[in-house]
Amino acid sequence: MMPDSPDGLSEPNAGTEQEIREPKMYRVILHNDDYTTMDFVIEVLISVFHKPAADATRIMIDVHNKGKGICGIYTYDIAATRVVRVHQLARKREFPLKCSLEEV
């Protein structure tokens, strides 16, 4: 039986504590290859990840020099959608650009 409130109506979750957790976050990563152009990587960073040109250039340099670059950190649904979008754009332009996500 549920406890009653002062007005005589029962409260649905009275007496139980619910833990509210933040959603898991995922890092979206672009990986270097020998064929995708630097200009296309910048284009993807601007159009898919909404990065300003200076940030897009910096991330592209990381991809080129370090082998990968972090595009952003998002909830799973957003991260997965952006990975799919990058792959669609790359396929359309015949580039083998790889994009992945990993839990933070």
Which CATH fold would you assign to the domain 25-103?
Answer: Ribosomal Protein L30; Chain: A, (3.30.1390)
To which H or E segment does residue 72 belong?
Answer: strand 68-75
Give me the pLDDT at residue 35, please: 97
Q: 69 in helix, strand or coil?
A: strand
Residues of the chain with pLDDT under 50: none
Instruction: DSSP letter for 75, please.
Output: E
Handedness of CA 49, 55, 56, 62 (dihedral sign): negative
Give me the pLDDT at residue 11, please: 58
Q: What is the pTM of this model?
A: 0.80
Give me the pLDDT at residue 17, please: 78
pLDDT in tens, 63-79: 999 999 999 999 999 99
